[in-house]
Amino acid sequence: MAIHRKGGELPRLHSTRDTRDRIDLVTEETFGVTDMKADRITYHPGDTSAAHRHPDCKHFFFVLEGEGILHADDEELKLGAGDVVMLLENEVHWFENRSNENFEFIELWVPAPPTPTVWVSNDRCTWAPNE
């Protein structure tokens, strides 16, 4: 059995574009898993991501808390705690947090890793380790 405890050594990253935070939950490095990937993402008030798509995987979002907006293709969908969304391969998507509270979700890619991420414009998101 493999287990990671809260506050343990899971990789924690921050966005180089805004104030978003990411915790890598299930990766090859954390559990040796290569057929799926999962992260916990926090959007702080005002955070947005850049529009992008993943050609070779389905993308699932499990909203834990707060409210946020998912832009998927030409639709805008308001999400809240308890909502679950699945995007198909190649669906262009991005999120924004218009609220005054954090918006948090678990994201899951199947199969993983989601390579490559295809950016819609020159606006891109990158992640850096927390120090």
> Does residue 2 lie in a domain region?
no
3-class secondary structure per residue, 73-110: CCEEEEEECCCEEEECCCCCEEEECCCCCCEEEEEEEE
The predicted structure's pLDDT at residue 112: 76
Question: Where in the sequence is the domain holding 18, given as residue range(s)?
Answer: 12-116
Mean pLDDT of 7-16: 77
> Does residue 5 lie in a domain region?
no
How many domains does one find in the chain?
1
> Does residue 31 lie in a domain region?
yes
pLDDT tens, position by position, 57-111: 899 999 999 999 999 988 999 999 999 999 999 999 999 999 999 999 999 988 8
> Does residue 3 lie in a domain region?
no
> Does residue 53 lie in a domain region?
yes
The predicted structure's pLDDT at residue 6: 54
pTM score, whole prediction: 0.88
- CATH number, domain at 103? 2.60.120.10
> Does residue 130 lie in a domain region?
no
User: Which residues are CB-contacts of 99 (< 8 A; sequence separation ≥ 6)?
Assistant: 45, 66, 67, 68
> Does residue 105 lie in a domain region?
yes
The predicted structure's pLDDT at residue 113: 65
